[in-house]
Structure 1
Amino acid sequence: MHKPHIKLKHIGLLLALLLNFAGAWAQNKPGADTTKIFSLEDLRMMVFRYHPIIKQAALFNEAAKANVLQSLGYFDPALKASFGRKVFGETEYYNHWDSELKVPLWLAGADLKIGYDRNVGKYTDPETRTGLDGLTGVGLSIPIGQGFVIDSRRNTLRQAKIMVEYAEAERVKQVNSTWYGIVKDYWAWYYAYRQLVLSQEGVDLAQRRFKAVNAQTHLGDKASIDSVEAYITVQERIVQLDKNKVELQNARLVLSNHLWNEQGSPLELPDDAIPQLVGANVEKPGRFVLDTLVQQAANQHPELVKLRTKGSLLAVERSYRREMLKPKINISGTLLSARRNFNSYVPDYYDFNWSNYKVGLEFVFPLFLRSERGKLKEVKLKQQQLEYDIQQSGREIKNNVLSAYNELTAYEAQVKVQSQSVKNQETLLKGEMQKFELGESTLFLINSRETKLIDMRIKLESMVAGYQKSLAELYYKAGSRQEL
C-alpha cells in the first residue's frame, strides 16, 4: 500500500512541474504582455525624428543647395563706379566719373552693360573725354568663340545643380546605413531579452523542483542525493542567468545610443521596456519582392546613383574642356548718347542711333593647346574609369542582394527545423517524466532533457533574431529600407 502512495505523490509533483512549465511558456508567447512593449516601429519614429545622424544627413542637401545659390552669384548683376579728380594751381587737371551696370546673361555667355561716363578736365585723355553732360552707353559683350556654348560660370552652375542629386544619394546612403545598424542593435536586444526570459524560466523550474524534491527527501520518499543534484542544477542555472542579465544590460545600453528626445538630449531605454515578440513562423519575401529589390537596386541604389551623378559631372566638364579648345573671340558693341535721362532734349546726332557707337574685338588662341588638350584627355580617362566602376559596382550590388536573400532562405529553413526540434524535445521531456513516474528514469535525465530544451529554445530565439537581421540586410543591400 506504501508504493501506490508514493506514486501518487510523484504524479502530483510532475503534474505541478508540467503546469508550471506550460504556464511559463504561455506567459512568454507573443502578445502575452503589450503594456511595456517598445516595438521596432516606436524606435523608427524616434530615430527619424530626433537622431543626430539622421539630422546630419539632411544637411547634405542643404549644403548642395547652398552651392547652387553660390554658383548663381556668378549671374548676379554688378554695379561699379569710380571717381577721380585732380586740381593743382587753380587748374582742374581732370574730373573723371565712370559707372557701369553689368548684367550677365545665360544665353551665349553674353553680358549686358549699361554705363555712364563723364570725363572732363584740361589734361583728360582725348580718347575718353566727354562733354559736361557725359555719355550714356547701352551695349553687349558676346563671346563668339570660346565660351559661346558653355563658359566657366555656366559650367560651375550646372555641376552645382547636379551635386544636389549626389547629395541626396549620399543622404539616403547615410540614413540607410544608420537605420540598418540600429535595427541590428534592436534585434540583438530582443535576443538578449528572450535569452534572459528563458534562463529565468529555467531557474524557476529548477527551484520549484528542488523545493519539491527537498520536501520529499525530508519525508523519506527521496534519497538525499536527489536533493543535492536538484540544487546543483539550480546553481548552474543561476550562474547562467546572471551572465544573461549582464548581456541584456549591455544590449540595452547599445540600443540606448540611438534614443534622443526633441531637445537633443540622450535618453535611456527603461529597464521595464521589452521588445516586440515575434513568433517562429517566419516566411521570407517572395520571388516577386526579390525581383523588385534587384531592379530597384539597379536603378536607385545610392552608390550607383552617386556614380552616375559623377558621370553627369564629367559630361559637363568634358563639354567645357572641349569648348576651351576654341579660340577666344569676344566682340562688344555699345550705343552712345549724350542724354542723362529720358526727359531731357538731346539732338538726334547726339542721341542713341547707329551712328553713335563704340565697338571692340578681342582674339586669343594658344598655338599648341597642350594644357587644354591635356585636361580634356584627363576627363575622358576619368569617364572610362567611371564606366568600369559602374559595371563592377552594379554587379556586386546585385550579387549582394541575391546573397542576402539566400542567407534569409537558409535562416527560414533553420528556424522551421529548430521549431520542430523544440517540439520534439518537449515530447521527450514529457516522456522522460512519465518514465520517471514508472521508476524507469532519474532526476538527472529529467534535468538534462529540460536543460537541453531551454538551450534549444534559446537557440531558436537566436535564429529568429538572425532572421530579422538578415531581412533588414536584404533591403539594405538593395539600397532601401524595410517597410515596417
Structure 2
Amino acid sequence: MKKYFRRFPAAAIIIVLLLTTIKSIAQTTPVTDTARVFALEDLQLLVFRYHPIVKQAALLSESARANVLQSLGYFDPALKAGFGRKLFGDTEYYNNWNSELKVPLWLAGADLKVGYDRSVGTYTNPQTRTAHEGLSGVGLSIPLGQGLIIDARRSTLRQSKIMVQYAEAEQLKQINSVWYAVVKDYWNWYYAYRQFALLTEGVELAERRFKALSRQTTIGDKPAIDSVEAYITVQERIIQKEKTKIELQNARLVLSNHLWSGQGNPLELPANAAPPQIDENITRPSQSVLDTLVAQASGQHPELLKLRSKGGQLAIERSYRQEMLKPKLNVSGTLISNRTSFRGNVPDYYDFNWSNYKLGIEFAFPLFLRAERGKLREVKIKQRELDYDLQQTGREIRTNVLASYNNLSAYSAQLNVQVQSISNQQTLLKGETQKFDLGESTLFLINSRESKLIDMKIKRESMISDYQKSLAELYYKAGTRQFITQN
C-alpha cells in the first residue's frame, strides 16, 4: 500500500478528500424510522368531519329548506284590524271598527275569512252602517277561473320544494368535487414520498459503493478513477434527492390544506407521516363494477339530478302560466250576524242563515293576452333547451365514465409490465455486480443499471399514483365517490 501511495500520491489525496467531503454533504438519514402511517381512510375521516367546504355544502339544503319555509308563509293566517273615529261639536260623525282573520286554503286557492265590523255614527255611510253591537261574518273567497287549479302561492311553494332536491344534488356535487381533489393531492403526496424514499435509498447504495471502492483503491485493488466516478454518482443522486425533498415538502403542504381540527383550526401533516405500502399487483375493477357505476350515473348523477329538478320546476311554471290564460272570476260570499259571542241570544232573523249574507263577483280578462302567451312560450322554450341539455349531459357522463375505466385498464396493464421489467432489471444489476467483482465489468455499467433500476421503481410508484387517481376519477365521473374502509 505504501508503495502504491508513493507511485500515486494524487490518488491518496483524492480518496481522503472524498471521504472527508462526503460526510458533510452526503448525510443521508432514512426517510424516518419513526414514521406514522397516514392512510387514505384516516384522511377521509378528517375531511368529512371537519373540512370547511364540506360543512359549507351542507348549508345548501338548509338554505333551500329555508326558502320552503318562506313559501309556506303565503299560507299563514293573517289578522288585520282598523279603527277610526271622528267627534266634533258634541257630534260623533263616525265610529268604525273593522277586523278580519284571513286563512289561505290550499284547496282551490280559496281564502276563509272571519270578521267583525262595527260602523256607527251620525254621518256613517248607510251601506256600511251596522247596529250598535256590530256584525260578525264568516265567508269564503274562491277563484272560479284563473287560480282555481294553481295560483302564484301554490306555484312558489311547489317550486321551492323541488329546489330542495336541486340543492341536495348541488351539495353532493360539491362534496364529490372536494373529495376528488383531496384524493388527487393524497396520491401526489404518496408519489413524492415514495420518490424521495427511493432516491434516499439510491444515495445510500452509492455511498456504500464509494466507501467500499475507496478501501479497495487504498490497498491498490481498484484504480483511483473508480472512486472519483463513484463519488460523482453520489453527488448526482444527492442533487436528485434534494430536489425531490422540496417536492415532498410542497406535496405535504398541499395535502395539509384539507386537514382541519374540530375547532376549525388548520392542521399540518406531520413530517414523520408516511403513506402505507401499496400492493403493486393491481387489477382494474370488474365489469360488474363498471355496469353498476354507469347505471348509477344515468340515474343519480348530481348534474342529471339538477337538470331534472329544473325540469320539474319548469313543469310547475308551465302549469301556472297556462292557468294565467284563463279569465279572472273571483266569487266571495259571507254569512253575517249580529252575534258577537256564542252564548249571546240573537233573534233568528239576525243570526247566521242563508238570508243574511254579502256576495261579490269580480271578473277581468285581457283581450290579447300577449304578456301571458309570451311568458308561456318562454317556459316552453326553456323546457326544450333543458331536454337537449339532458340528452347531451347524459351521454357525456357515460362517455367520461367509460374513458376513465379505459384509463384504469391501461394503467393496470402498464403496471404489470413495469413490475416484470423491474424484476428483469434487478437480475441484470445482480449479474453486472457479480461480473464487476470478477473484474469483467465497469463501475459505469453498475451505476447505469442501478440508476435505471431506481428510475424504473420511481416510474412504478408514479403508475400506482396515477392508477389510484384514475380510480377516484372513475367514481367522480359517475357522480359518486369511492368509500375507503379500514382493512
Q: Within 2, Cα distance between the matches of 1:64 and 1:281? A: 47
The one-letter code matched in structure 1 to 2:457 is R
Q: Within 2, Cα distance between the matches of 1:276 and 1:219? A: 44
Q: 1:272, CA displacement in angstroms?
A: 0.3
After TM superposition, where is structure 1 displaced by more than 3 Å over at least 4 residues in a row? 32-35
Q: Within 2, Cα distance between the matches of 1:445 and 1:389? A: 61
The one-letter code matched in structure 2 to 1:363 is F
Q: 1:195, CA displacement in angstroms?
A: 0.1
Q: Within 2, Cα distance between the matches of 1:33 and 1:169? A: 45
Q: Secondary structure at the match of 2:263?
A: coil
1:393-422 deviation per Cα after TM superposition (whole angstroms, max 9, x unaligned): 000000000000001100000100111000
1:79-99 deviation per Cα after TM superposition (whole angstroms, max 9, x unaligned): 000000000111000000000
- 8 Å CA contact 2:35–2:274 kept in 1: the answer is no
Match of 2:77 in 1: 77
Q: 1:444, CA displacement in angstroms?
A: 1.0
Q: Within 2, Cα distance between the matches of 1:279 and 1:465? A: 12
Match of 2:135 in 1: 135
Q: 1:276, CA displacement in angstroms?
A: 2.0
Q: Within 1, Cα distance between the matches of 2:272 and 2:187? A: 17
1:253-310 deviation per Cα after TM superposition (whole angstroms, max 9, x unaligned): 0000000000000000000001122121111110000011001000000000000110
Match of 2:18 in 1: none
1:34-74 deviation per Cα after TM superposition (whole angstroms, max 9, x unaligned): 96101100000000000000000000000000000000000
Match of 1:427 in 2: 427
Q: 1:344, CA displacement in angstroms?
A: 0.8
Q: Within 2, Cα distance between the matches of 1:472 and 1:419? A: 23
- 8 Å CA contact 2:133–2:340 kept in 1: the answer is yes
Match of 2:86 in 1: 86
**1:311-350 mapped onto 2 (5 Å cutoff):** 311-350=311-350
Match of 1:483 in 2: 483
- Percent of paired sites with the same residue: 71
**1:125-164 mapped onto 2 (5 Å cutoff):** 125-164=125-164
Q: 1:377, CA displacement in angstroms?
A: 0.5
Q: Within 1, Cα distance between the matches of 2:179 and 2:352? A: 67
Q: Within 1, Cα distance between the matches of 2:59 and 2:360? A: 47
Q: Secondary structure at the match of 2:482?
A: coil
TM-score (norm 1): 0.93
Match of 2:381 in 1: 381
Q: Within 1, Cα distance between the matches of 2:297 and 2:266? A: 34
- 8 Å CA contact 2:336–2:357 kept in 1: the answer is yes
The one-letter code matched in structure 2 to 1:324 is M
Match of 2:12 in 1: none
Match of 2:448 in 1: 448
Q: 1:106, CA displacement in angstroms?
A: 0.1
Match of 1:14 in 2: none
1:225-260 deviation per Cα after TM superposition (whole angstroms, max 9, x unaligned): 011011000000000000010000000000000000
Match of 1:355 in 2: 355
**1:183-202 mapped onto 2 (5 Å cutoff):** 183-202=183-202
Q: 1:437, CA displacement in angstroms?
A: 2.3
The one-letter code matched in structure 1 to 2:419 is S
- 8 Å CA contact 2:112–2:139 kept in 1: the answer is yes
Q: Within 1, Cα distance between the matches of 2:55 and 2:76? A: 32
**1:168-183 mapped onto 2 (5 Å cutoff):** 168-183=168-183
Q: Secondary structure at the match of 2:102?
A: strand
Match of 2:474 in 1: 474
Q: Within 1, Cα distance between the matches of 2:150 and 2:169? A: 27
The one-letter code matched in structure 1 to 2:270 is P
Greater CA drift, 54-63 or 431-440: 431-440
The one-letter code matched in structure 2 to 1:411 is Y
- 8 Å CA contact 2:64–2:167 kept in 1: the answer is yes
The one-letter code matched in structure 2 to 1:395 is R
Length, aligned pairs only: 455
The one-letter code matched in structure 2 to 1:308 is R
- 8 Å CA contact 2:301–2:479 kept in 1: the answer is yes
Match of 1:104 in 2: 104
**1:7-18 mapped onto 2 (5 Å cutoff):** none
Q: Within 1, Cα distance between the matches of 2:241 and 2:145? A: 81
The one-letter code matched in structure 1 to 2:367 is L
The one-letter code matched in structure 2 to 1:198 is L
1:372-395 deviation per Cα after TM superposition (whole angstroms, max 9, x unaligned): 000000000100010000000000
Q: Secondary structure at the match of 2:264?
A: coil
Match of 1:56 in 2: 56
Q: Within 2, Cα distance between the matches of 1:191 and 1:437? A: 34
Match of 2:217 in 1: 217
Q: 1:438, CA displacement in angstroms?
A: 2.3
Q: Specify whether residues 404 and 33 from structure 1 end up closer, same or farther in structure 2 by C-alpha distance, changes over 3 A only.
A: farther
The one-letter code matched in structure 1 to 2:459 is K
Match of 1:13 in 2: none
Greater CA drift, 44-53 or 431-440: 431-440
Is 1:304 aligned to residue 304 of structure 2?
A: yes
**1:262-301 mapped onto 2 (5 Å cutoff):** 262-301=262-301
Q: Within 1, Cα distance between the matches of 2:90 and 2:273? A: 93
Q: Within 1, Cα distance between the matches of 2:105 and 2:323? A: 18
Greater CA drift, 117-126 or 437-446: 437-446
Q: Within 2, Cα distance between the matches of 1:438 and 1:257? A: 54
The one-letter code matched in structure 2 to 1:455 is D
Query: Which 5+ residue runs of structure 1 have no aligned equivalent?
Result: 1-26
Q: Within 1, Cα distance between the matches of 2:132 and 2:440? A: 128
